[in-house]
Amino acid sequence: MTIKVTVWNEYRHEKTDAEVAAIYPDGIHNAIANYLKTDEQLQVSTAVLDDPEHGLTDDVLQNTDVLLWWGHLAHDEVSDDIVEKVQQRVLDGMGLIVLHSGHASKIFKKLMGTATGTLKWRDTGEIEKIWVIEQGHPIAQGLGEYIEIPKEEMYGERFEIPAPDKLIFISWFEGGEVFRSGCCYERGRGRIFYFRPGHETFPVYHQAEVLQVISNATFWAAASK
Amino acid sequence: MTIKVTVWNEYRHEKTDAEVAAIYPDGIHNAIANYLKTDEQLQVSTAVLDDPEHGLTDDVLQNTDVLLWWGHLAHDEVSDDIVEKVQQRVLDGMGLIVLHSGHASKIFKKLMGTATGTLKWRDTGEIEKIWVIEQGHPIAQGLGEYIEIPKEEMYGERFEIPAPDKLIFISWFEGGEVFRSGCCYERGRGRIFYFRPGHETFPVYHQAEVLQVISNATFWAAASK
Amino acid sequence: MTIKVTVWNEYRHEKTDAEVAAIYPDGIHNAIANYLKTDEQLQVSTAVLDDPEHGLTDDVLQNTDVLLWWGHLAHDEVSDDIVEKVQQRVLDGMGLIVLHSGHASKIFKKLMGTATGTLKWRDTGEIEKIWVIEQGHPIAQGLGEYIEIPKEEMYGERFEIPAPDKLIFISWFEGGEVFRSGCCYERGRGRIFYFRPGHETFPVYHQAEVLQVISNATFWAAASK
Amino acid sequence: MTIKVTVWNEYRHEKTDAEVAAIYPDGIHNAIANYLKTDEQLQVSTAVLDDPEHGLTDDVLQNTDVLLWWGHLAHDEVSDDIVEKVQQRVLDGMGLIVLHSGHASKIFKKLMGTATGTLKWRDTGEIEKIWVIEQGHPIAQGLGEYIEIPKEEMYGERFEIPAPDKLIFISWFEGGEVFRSGCCYERGRGRIFYFRPGHETFPVYHQAEVLQVISNATFWAAASK
């Protein structure tokens, strides 16, 4: 079975911030896409905000089994019309993986129905330990008891999401906070996974365990294909 | 403790359809409100679509602990602005009880994030048996094993809702369908209950057990007041 | 990937009741096992109550990825020691599919923590319609809106189970009852699926859609292998 | 409405360990019971392991709306017969609050169906921050964003429990772990709450917020009375 994956990225930080560009010279989308391409079951494309129709034409959406979403600065620039189409595709069975600051994206808010932008944050590059709560879940395959990220932005509770259908990860932060970092949802016929790590100023998407989770989640989200 | 309740009704059928007017001469909202008023812990008001701001001014919303919602013909006439305010109030802790054809209302869609208008229906006045699945839940207090409604409109699965945080009732219909008829959700700080019965051409809101559920749900939804 | 499946059956009715023997001459276990064997990814064995250690030796359990369980008359004859071993294997990641009257088995009670024997029943051979509630779930793949079984024993709510982690099917019965017929649970590292149909006096395990669900559930339950 | 509460304690540490006795001279049960007695809606009794029938006679159980449970050293000394009676009372509607090391008690294991004794622990008296995940839930009433306990025993994931029906609290520990510290379950007609804090060598049950949670949980657990 081939799974058609589209990795969507806002792709702004990388073009304007030298620190980010140094970590992700081809953009966060390509860091992730290049990893996923090493799995021959995955057929991987990318799309970015500044593409026509944000790269998410009807044709692209119809030919996407799993969509990954990274955004931060420009959530408001995403067209409501495209957001509605993405929502409909999820309800029809497309998988959606929302990454890090995508928590505040229009599409995540719309699918959750709550103010998902609401959380604590602090950007000082502290240690994050992502504990595996459901070790038997497909998304946790191949992981140890936790993933340690040496420097990350903190996200803290309360995170205003509906209680996850399945909570896979909980993060511990050096500064004293916790966070529901791996959250599964099923909406309509589609599967949604929110995965917390991935601040643009740290090389999080170059870390093996983080990429492993993204790959696992891609297969999981494709299961209702 | 006094709970401030606002019963909102579209209030159109009752003014244009003699059959409905005969059953609910003062409107569905008043049938429900008059029952709730018999409980001295409840302070009950009503509001309807054609009131200024649909009767849901900022002041009314701020002074509502639990909002009940009945709509059918004119979901589209409800202003997006009011819907957003209601959503925000729910996330801030107001209870919301969505009744019958309110399943397709803007507010319910917005809070659920799915196409909640999607379900089967048939309006032939058939028997509905509403089975109690969680007999220990406050919303089921005082009920027997099931509520039988002699004539109702059928709603059938698949009903496109997120899996309820708690499923209290499942309906059986004479014609062969089933339906998740009592669904609890928690979103933000607020509690939401969807309750299926209540077609306008049958005297469902005059039936004691149905009113009992509405009263129970009002107290449950006020619990995070 | 090969999945090692063990189909366990009490195997008493078939040896003492001519009506049952006519439907399942080789036992319910073989009716199911023979179907599963047609899938080359599945490596299928059977075991029955009257085998030494009920056919569930440590070696068999260690070499089982998914265990299917059908019992009815002789739940009490299953040794507590074996039940504990099965429980431990489930918590360690073995899948378990509990069929029909297996609802009252020791192993299901032990894993659920409730009086799962509690439900209504009536054995008159009535129509059952099993409605698909989660159409995007792997267990529902390939099904239509519902499965109709022309003659079945009725099981009715309230069924004393913990609220399922995911509810896939709800049954409608001709006589007026409903039932949560397809219930997913995750316990420890293992996945559990309860599937209602399968009374011994009706040829339910010869019906294509029922077998399809059992096969789907086998793959689902193996996912944390 | 009066709620009849029984606070059960193993009551061994307090009699053999001077450090514990100094903190809880009348036993952990009385520290909790004395607090609850300040609420006139609660009618509070205590019972301990070494009482005849562990103080949990049929009469006591029938007259208990909510049972609190603290045990640690002597889980195995609790009679299986009493455990079955407590389980049955919970399924019939009695509330149960399991405290701290009660996670490994027979009654909690039996109601959960998993190896709830499984978790990480370290007893060095470190800081615990208990974050409130569901701020609108009755159990969290009156709390701030988190409760800080200056010295506590650490419990860490993975804690082998079924996914809670509602997760209210997540703990952060100084040493790097997280824990699901406030877990709601509904089983049969009964409500169960697991609440983590309470190691015998720290004065945790003298801390106001901890006592507030226990009181809140008592009212919540009585709701299906």
Three-class SS string for C2-35? CEEEEEEECCCHHHHCHHHHHHCCCCHHHHHHHH
Confidence at residue D51, expressed as pLDDT on a 0 to 100 scale = 98
- The pLDDT tens digits for C40-75 are 999 999 999 999 999 999 999 999 999 999 999 999
Q: What is the identity of the amino acid at A168?
A: I
Cis peptide before C122 (omega within 30 of 0): no
Confidence at residue D58, expressed as pLDDT on a 0 to 100 scale = 98
Q: Average the pLDDT over C162-178 and give the result.
A: 98
Confidence at residue D210, expressed as pLDDT on a 0 to 100 scale = 98
Residues of A with CB under 8 A from a CB of C: 93, 134-138, 165-166, 186, 188-191, 223-224
Confidence at residue B189, expressed as pLDDT on a 0 to 100 scale = 97
Q: Are D52 and D79 in contact (CB under 8 A)?
A: no
Per-residue confidence band for B109, with pLDDT thresholds at 50, 70 and 90: very high
B133 and C180: CB-CB below 8 Å? yes
The yes-or-no verdict on residue A50 having pLDDT over 70 is: yes
C157 and B129: CB-CB below 8 Å? no
Edge-first strand listing for the sheet containing D146-156: D42-48, D3-9, D66-70, D95-99, D190-195, D178-187, D166-173, D120-132, D146-156
A88 burial via Cβ count (<10 Å: 0-12, 13-18, 19+): middle
- The pLDDT tens digits for D9-44 are 999 999 999 999 999 999 999 999 999 999 999 999
The yes-or-no verdict on residue C225 having pLDDT over 80 is: no
Q: Average the pLDDT over A131-141 and give the result.
A: 96
D138 and B186: CB-CB below 8 Å? no
C127 burial via Cβ count (<10 Å: 0-12, 13-18, 19+): middle
- The pLDDT tens digits for B47-81 are 999 999 999 999 999 999 999 999 999 999 999 99
Q: What is the 3-state secondary structure (H, E, C) of chain D?
A: CCEEEEEEECCCHHHHCHHHHHHCCCCHHHHHHHHHCCCCCEEEEEEECCCHHHHCCHHHHHCCCEEEEECCCCHHHCCHHHHHHHHHHHHCCCEEEEEHHHHHCHHHHHHHCCCCCCCEEEEEEEEEEEEECCCCCHHHCCCCCEEEEEEEEEEECCCCCCCCCEEEEEEEECCCCEEEEEEEEEECCEEEEEECCCCCCCCHHHCHHHHHHHHHHHHHHHHHC
Contacts of B223 in chain D (CB under 8 A): 138
- Residue in the block written with tokens 């129509």: C127
- The pLDDT tens digits for B86-106 are 999 999 999 999 999 999 999
D87 and C113: CB-CB below 8 Å? yes
Confidence at residue A224, expressed as pLDDT on a 0 to 100 scale = 66
- The pLDDT tens digits for C86-99 are 999 999 999 999 99
Distances D194 to A38, A158, D91, D98 between C-alpha atoms, Å: 44, 20, 16, 5
How far is the C-alpha of C210 from the C-alpha of C140, rounded, in Å? 11
A136 and C165: CB-CB below 8 Å? no
How far is the C-alpha of D119 from the C-alpha of D154, rounded, in Å? 10
The yes-or-no verdict on residue B224 having pLDDT over 80 is: no
- The ipTM is 0.96
To the nearest whole angstrom, how far is the Cα of A37 from the nearest Cα of chain D? Answer: 32
> Between A112, A160, A165, which is nearest B113 by CB?
A112
> Between B165, B189, B191, which is nearest D135 by CB?
B189
A135 and D158: CB-CB below 8 Å? yes
Q: Which of B86, B105, B112 to mutate to test the interface with A (most CBs of A within 10 A)?
A: B112
Set out the domains of chain D in order of their start, with CATH numbers. 3-224 (3.40.50.880)
Mean pLDDT over all residues of chain A?
Answer: 97
> Between B133, B158, B180, which is nearest C132 by CB?
B158
Residues 6+ positions from A130 with CB-CB distance below 8 Å: A146, A147, A148, A149, A169, A170, A171, A172, A181, A182, A196, A197
Q: Are D162 and D192 in contact (CB under 8 A)?
A: no
B6 DSSP assignment: E
**pLDDT, mean of each 10-residue run, chain D (225 residues):** 96 96 98 98 98 98 98 98 98 98 98 98 98 96 98 98 98 98 98 97 98 98 79
C175 DSSP assignment: T
| The token pair that represents C1 in the structure block | 């990937």
Per-residue confidence band for C1, with pLDDT thresholds at 50, 70 and 90: confident
Q: Average the pLDDT over A103-117 and give the result.
A: 98
Contacts of C165 in chain A (CB under 8 A): 165-166
Contacts of B133 in chain C (CB under 8 A): 157-158, 180
Q: Which of B114, B147, B178, B196 to mutate to test the interface with C (most CBs of C within 10 A)?
A: B178
Which residue of D lies nearest to C113 if distances are taken between CA atoms? D111
Q: Which of A66, A189, A216, A220 to mutate to test the interface with C (most CBs of C within 10 A)?
A: A189
B188 and A87: CB-CB below 8 Å? no
Contacts of C158 in chain B (CB under 8 A): 131-133, 135, 145
- The pLDDT tens digits for B178-220 are 999 999 999 999 999 999 999 999 999 999 999 999 999 999 9
Confidence at residue B225, expressed as pLDDT on a 0 to 100 scale = 54
Distances A170 to A66, B156, C169 between C-alpha atoms, Å: 24, 38, 31
- Cα of D45 vs its chain's centroid, Å: 15
> Between D135, D156, D178, which is nearest A178 by CB?
D178
Show which subunits contact D, needing at least 3 CB pairs below 8 angstroms.
A, B, C
B114 and A188: CB-CB below 8 Å? yes
Contacts of A187 in chain B (CB under 8 A): 113-114, 162
D176 and A180: CB-CB below 8 Å? no
Confidence at residue B223, expressed as pLDDT on a 0 to 100 scale = 84
Residues of C with CB under 8 A from a CB of A: 93, 134-138, 165-166, 186, 188-191, 223-224
Q: Average the pLDDT over B9-17 and give the result.
A: 96
Q: What is the pTM of this model?
A: 0.97
Show which subunits contact C, needing at least 3 CB pairs below 8 angstroms.
A, B, D
